[in-house]
Amino acid sequence: MVKVIGLTGGIASGKSTVSSILKSLGAVIIDADVVSREIMIKGTETYNILISVFGREILRKDGEIDRRKLGNLVFADKEKLNKLNEITHPEIIKRIKDIIEEERKKGKEKAIVLDAALLIEMKLFNMVDEVWLVVVDKKTQIRRLMKRDNLSYKDALNRIKSQMSIEDKMKYADFIINNCKDFNAIKRQVELLWGRFSK
């Protein structure tokens, strides 16, 4: 049976870096963020529900949902964030389950990686064989997030606070990948962990 690795980490922790390293090593990646975009595409049922709940101001000029506008709206309001999760999470979970099934049927891979920021919050860890958690110190996390998403200190902090704390996530982790140093340091950690599936 092909193993499924759940890869997670706080926002701007370097999870995407780990995911791209794993891809280069031959892992099949299921990106929960890509799945969440797909279920919100114009014309889908989820798209229509989101507009009826949050209004047309979350749309771009081309009629697609502007995820940045939607993010700014919900990250500042816990109730709205809960509502968004209530609408999107069941659809995302269903789609991920289907993709894992499809990949497992092929049976060619050494392991499948489910890359999901909300792996624990959405209980997606129930679908995986082991959880890999990418960690970074708070100061670095805020700095990276401000730079990456062009956010103010306050907005960056709001986004971090809206997620489960790293301490709580650690309780679910089978392996912890420390991303406080340079790229080579994180690459070595990932190669060691992945090496267990290459034998």
154 in a labelled binding site = no
pLDDT attached to residue 199: 58
Spatial contact of 141 and 105, defined as CB atoms under 8 Å apart:
no
Which CATH number belongs to the domain containing residue 41 in this structure?
3.40.50.300
Spatial contact of 9 and 133, defined as CB atoms under 8 Å apart:
yes
Spatial contact of 134 and 14, defined as CB atoms under 8 Å apart:
yes
**DSSP class per residue in 178-189:** E-SS-HHHHHHH
- CA dihedral for 157, 163, 165, 170, sign (positive or negative): negative
pLDDT tens track for 154-188 = 989 988 887 899 999 999 999 999 998 889 999 99
pLDDT tens track for 106-156 = 877 778 999 999 999 999 999 999 999 999 998 999 999 999 999 999 989
Structure confidence at residue 198 as a pLDDT band (50, 70, 90): low
What mean pLDDT comes out for the span 28-36?
95
Structure confidence at residue 79 as a pLDDT band (50, 70, 90): very high
pLDDT attached to residue 78: 87
In a shared domain, residues 103 and 60: yes
What mean pLDDT comes out for the span 54-62?
95
110 in a labelled binding site = no
In a shared domain, residues 92 and 135: no
Question: Which residues lie below 8 Å from residue 86, measured CB to CB, with a gap of 6+?
Answer: none
pLDDT attached to residue 50: 97
Spatial contact of 111 and 3, defined as CB atoms under 8 Å apart:
yes
Question: Which of 109, 126, 147 corresponds to the end of one domain?
Answer: 109
12 in a labelled binding site = yes
State what percent of residues in the chain have pLDDT above 70: 98
Q: Which amino acid is at 61?
A: K
117 in a labelled binding site = no
Question: Which of 84, 109, 134 corresponds to the end of one domain?
Answer: 109
Q: Is the pLDDT of residue 35 over 80?
A: yes
Report the mean per-residue pLDDT for the chain.
92
Domain that includes residue 50, residue range: 34-109
In a shared domain, residues 91 and 20: no
Question: Which residues lie below 8 Å from residue 159, measured CB to CB, with a gap of 6+?
Answer: 11, 71, 75, 145, 151
